Amino acid sequence: MVIAKVWVLKKHFDGFPKPSDFDLKKIELPNLKDGGEQKLLLESVFLSVDPYMRPYSRRDMKEGDIMIGTQVARVVESKNPAFAVEAFVIGGRGWRTHFISDGKDLQLLPSNWPESLPKSLALGPVGMPGLTAYFGLLEVCKMKPGETVLVNAAAGAVGSVVGQLAKIGGCKVVGCAGSDDKVAYLKKIGLDEAFNYKTVKSLDEALHKASPDGYDCFFDNVGGEFASVAMNHMKKYGRIAVCGAISQYNDSVPQKGPYVQIPMIFKELKMEGFIVSRWNNRREEGLQALLKWVVEGKVKFHEQVTEGFENMPMAFIGMLKGENLGKAIVKV
């Protein structure tokens, strides 16, 4: 019999999440059976902490539910021939050390995953965040070589892939992030211009200085005031991919304008929100492209690894505060 540790949402977040909003519990898992749904015992090896957990917890969860999330897990016991013991899978089973599955909700890591590549990257550049960058740039921004792309939260999981894919696509790239170390990293991975949005005197001036002609594409991870200012720097017929709004997720009182209509009309902009799962039918294409670029060293990566399942809430809160460079993950 296996006892799993799980983190539950004790209390709905009010403003910024706090450690006391979470509870660590133990649950007893049933033994595997030949028939039915209890075919696999899995052990989480890496767990992801992501910004979406903040707004989705309010929308989809009730107090007492196990926190939502994805993991890279190892098959410990198997009564399903499609999953060998010791195989690694991606699961979406939330903040748990162990879980039982019939396999239907699991995806094996791509079969050509090199042994030398960390499996945790399946939660980052070769996983959901990488796919978000890939489809957001190709299908929503529809970037073309020679164009100028702006990305914020640029040193994070999605943003760092956006910047590098836009370079691969032949664009000039401007990235913004919240610390000087992150800005140095953005230059190291090849962005043309990068600045610290927290220390510039004027965001308006910094965006103008980085690209005096303006921006064709804006991959927006942040929303709020940043997006309102950036909107005025778009070129005519510019495209804005509304990927995330992390500057608004912890607001108790919704932020107010300025509103988007006037710059959108005068510049004839296109602004489109998207959720990466729209392209689930092209997941394999995206993962193979990202895996190739990572293996070739064309997409570099950094992971912010927090050790220990008991530190999941701190890793999540730290990521929301901007403590992560690259993908924030927890090693169990």
Which stretches of the chain bind ligand NDP, using CB under 6 A?
50-52, 129, 132, 153, 155-159, 177-179, 182, 221-222, 243-247, 274-276, 319-320, 322, 324, 328
**Percent helix, strand and coil across the chain, each to the nearest 5:** 35, 25, 40
- The torsion angles phi and psi of 133, rounded to 5 degrees, stand at -65, -45
| d(C-alpha 197, C-alpha 212), whole Å | 17
Residue 228 vs 247, nearer CB to ligand NDP = 247
CA 310 to chain centre: 21
At position 296, the amino acid (one-letter code) is E
Least spacing, CB of residue 59 vs ligand NDP, in Å: 13
Contacts of 184 (CB under 8 A, 6+ apart): none
Residue 98 vs 233, nearer CB to ligand NDP = 233
| d(C-alpha 67, C-alpha 324), whole Å | 20
| d(C-alpha 320, C-alpha 246), whole Å | 8
Residue 98 vs 327, nearer CB to ligand NDP = 327
Least spacing, CB of residue 179 vs ligand NDP, in Å: 6
Q: Would you say the C-alpha torsion 117, 122, 124, 125 has a positive or negative sign?
A: positive
Least spacing, CB of residue 326 vs ligand NDP, in Å: 7
Residue 78 vs 132, nearer CB to ligand NDP = 132
131-156: b or e for each residue (b if 16 or more CB lie within 10 Å)?
bbbbbbbbebbebeeebbbbbbbbbb
Residue 205 vs 268, nearer CB to ligand NDP = 205
Least spacing, CB of residue 287 vs ligand NDP, in Å: 15
Least spacing, CB of residue 158 vs ligand NDP, in Å: 3
Least spacing, CB of residue 182 vs ligand NDP, in Å: 6
Residue 41 vs 137, nearer CB to ligand NDP = 137
Residue 124 vs 263, nearer CB to ligand NDP = 124
Residue 67 vs 153, nearer CB to ligand NDP = 153
The residue with tokens 């979470």 is 22
State the first-to-last Cα distance of the chain, in angstroms, to the nearest integer.
20
38-67: b or e for each residue (b if 16 or more CB lie within 10 Å)?
bbbbbbbbbbbbbbbbbbebeeebeeeebb
Least spacing, CB of residue 256 vs ligand NDP, in Å: 16
Would you say 37 and 102 are in contact if contact means Cβ atoms under 8 Å apart? yes
Least spacing, CB of residue 65 vs ligand NDP, in Å: 20
